[in-house]
Amino acid sequence: MAHNDFVITDFEGDPDQSLETRRAKKLPLVDAANLCFSLCLAASQAQQRHLTEYTEHGDLFAASVRQWLTVSVEAFLCGYSRAIAGCCTHPGEPELTGYMLQLFLVEKLLFEFNRMNNDEAALTESSVLILLDLFEQTTLFSIGEE
């Protein structure tokens, strides 16, 4: 994150995992869930940075972060859904896709909890709250429905 903006630069997987683990075949939906999680982390970082500088605008900024995250995840999942439609590795039912996406998000969250240190705890806690907010918005996880 730089100058209240971010750039996604990490596409090779978790460098703490072996190359074999990173290259293992998995459902494309796992990568979609990981990208959604990364957006949650970006939103959390932006929110924490802003709140340390402008404490009086906390509620307004939190609402703006949730709105940005909702729009970003919806746009990503909508494009993902169109691109992967009909692929044999993607569940055809939107409800099942939503459940699987939630499962992979929780899996990613648990993985991050397992490896975090104390300095990262606050960021992860904030990300969890944002992620739970996403779960409450069931439309985000009904990808493929028109």
> Can you list the alpha helix ranges (DSSP code H) found in the chain?
19-23, 28-53, 58-84, 94-115, 118-136
CA distance 84 to 128: 27
Provide the pLDDT for residue 115: 74
- Let me know: does 17 contact 7? Beta carbons within 8 Å: no
pTM as predicted: 0.74
Q: Indicate the domain borders of the chain.
A: 26-141
Provide the pLDDT for residue 76: 92
Pairs from 49-58 (Cβ < 8 Å, separation ≥ 24): 49/1, 49/4, 50/4
pLDDT digits (tens, 9 = 90+) for 86-138: 999 998 888 888 889 989 988 888 887 777 766 566 666 666 766 676 666 65
